[in-house]
Amino acid sequence: MSLLVVGSVALDTVETPFGSVKKALGGSAVYISAAASYFTVPIRLVGVVGGDFPKEHIQFMESRQIDLDGLQIIEKGKTFQWGGKYHYDLNVRDTLFTDLNVFKKFDPKIPERFKSSAYVCLGNIDPVLQLQVLNQIKKPRLVVGDTMNYWIDTRLKELTDTMKCMDVIIVNDSEARLLTQEPNLIKAAKKIIKMGPKIIIIKKGEHGAMLVTEETIFSAPAYPLETIFDPTGAGDAFAGGFIGWLARTDDLSANNLKRAIIYGSTLASFCVEKFSVDSLRDLSYLKIHDRFRSFMDLSRFDEN
């Protein structure tokens, strides 16, 4: 099924205790699209870059059958750049710089043939822009949205208005608590359901992810990795794997939502093994499915 992805396209400078990269391909729309492309193609991407955006990044996205007709290129502008430094506890990072550049005036225009997309994934952008996108779409089957604490702090009304148009919202544990002022994550998820989305996904970092609906609570573990090079984009890769699987199967049953959570976790686990999108360049469906089965084995046991 057709999948529309709207979000940032960036050049990331990242330093971790295990290495560093400069001006590497990044951005929420890129990670979501690259992960989802292993399940369904083409992916329809909407974003903005400057004239300095390297052609090899365009070629990579096209090689993953990502349709770039919605990618605005501002020739006289510069691409959004972000820099961060991670500590040995990779859950802790310092933002070194954020240069929005052309992304500061991002005005998402959805190409006409993109407007009938059945599945929509809204990356972590201003909720005003997220709603602007949804107002251009014709009755999507499923809308997945991401957000962050910055928008909760500065655009709470706009965010709650936009959430009414989302079917699924993805937040991390601290964002869920901030949004609801509720320390218990189950109670927080149920409060978010009352705000509009019927499916809540709460990411818990190294402790996995939780799916909550009116009828279902499902907790998935994180994959135990010996080597983690770069956590950047892991949450977006999770979102891409999740919605990519749903678009592939066109099945929104409770059991398939659980599978989608595991596939999302699988793509996130690959993402952190290398810098930037490097680990998402040459995966195979067989390799992804093997790790999916390993995820299942993590929590399977003989009750006798």
Supply the pLDDT for residue 138: 94
Q: Is residue 303 part of a domain?
A: no
Supply the pLDDT for residue 303: 76
> What domain range is 205 assigned to?
3-298
Q: Is residue 130 part of a domain?
A: yes
Supply the pLDDT for residue 206: 79
Residue 42, preceding peptide bond in cis (omega within 30° of 0): yes
Q: Is residue 51 part of a domain?
A: yes
Supply the pLDDT for residue 29: 98
CATH of the domain at 62: 3.40.1190.20
Q: Is residue 304 part of a domain?
A: no
Domain count, the chain: 1
Q: Which residues of the chain have pLDDT under 50?
A: none
Q: Is residue 58 part of a domain?
A: yes
| DSSP assignment string, 116-160 | T-SEEEE-SS-HHHHHHHHTTS---SEEEEE--HHHHHH-HHHHH
Q: Is residue 139 part of a domain?
A: yes
Contacts 24+ apart (CB under 8 A), 67-71: 67/42, 67/43, 67/114, 69/44, 69/111, 69/113, 69/114, 70/6, 70/44, 70/45, 70/46, 70/108, 70/109, 70/110, 70/111, 70/114, 71/9, 71/45, 71/46, 71/47
Contact 264, 24 (CB under 8 A): no
Supply the pLDDT for residue 298: 84
Q: Is residue 85 part of a domain?
A: yes
Supply the pLDDT for residue 226: 79
